[in-house]
A = this chain, B = another copy of it.
Amino acid sequence: MAGTDQARGDVAALPAGAPAVILVEPQLGENIGMAARAMLNTGLTDLRMVQPRDGWPSEAAQKAASGADVVIGGARVFESTAAACADLQIVYATTARSRDMTKRVLDPRGAAAEFAQAARAGQRTGVLFGKESKGLTNDDVALAEAIVRAPLNPAFASLNLAQAVFLVGYEWRLVSLDAATGDGGSEDGAAGDLVMPKDTRLADHKELVGLYEHLEAELTACHFLYPPERAPVMARNLRNMFGRARLTEQEVRSLRGVVAALRRGPKSGLTPGPDGDGNNA
């Protein structure tokens, strides 16, 4: 394990469908580099960052990656967590802290099993990791479908960033190796397969955030997100509710139709409006 393996990443040989690693506002380039090394150790290559504090590219990250150049070189920087997750259908958030949210909590092994299951279904997945000093914001956590928490020493549960990334990657690798050797099937349905019509797919986060922002704009106009100081937590709780439902792209359109129809009211006549999309409800 600790050793002097000089080989470098042969990405082609890695299991497909690995989750993306999304570092939200990482502070130290060295930690980004160690996370990149942990990713390649475990066969992850899709590194995304939201506003890295010290900018990008980073010499410190390059150095700490100890040769994981394929990960560092392919890393992408985004303006917001939502933008970094835009093309992903399943996003989980890592946190050691309890949050005042109603959300599924998985351990890394359980999360890896769901990622493998999602990959087999052609779905794109990702994991959010917060900044070293504070972890993820509640808004970031609210964007995720579930929380990943490791069963660590409860008296000392805060992991170094690279350790947290490594843990998720390690469990992913074990599950993907099981799948490659045929044992992975035993995990099927362990967390409950989401069965959906063939003509639809899970919504991606661009579509989900579009729904959230549409609903929140209307609820602000209706003075429901009130008083202002309470509005953010109220909006977060609504996002948590819809996030747990793991909506399909068709359902997102239907819900936007529901919101539009309720706002429009009866006076709009007998047929759904352009975004009513009633037949898909």
Contact = CB atoms under 8 A, between A and B. Distances in A.
B266 A67 contact: no
Nearest to A7: B155
A42 interface: yes
A95 to B, nearest CB: 6
A185 B272 CA distance: 50
Contact of A170 (B68, B167, B281): B167
Interface stretch (A53-61, A77-85, A118-126, A256-264): A256-264
A3 interface: yes
Contacts of A154: 7, 13
A248 B102 contact: yes
Given A7-B156, A244-B244, A151 B191 contact: no
Interface of A: 1-10, 13-14, 34, 37-38, 40-43, 66-68, 94-98, 100-110, 113-114, 129-130, 132-135, 146-164, 166-168, 170, 173-174, 177, 185-197, 200, 215, 218-219, 221-226, 230, 234-235, 237-238, 241-242, 244-248, 251, 254-255, 257-259, 261-266, 268-272, 276, 278-279, 281
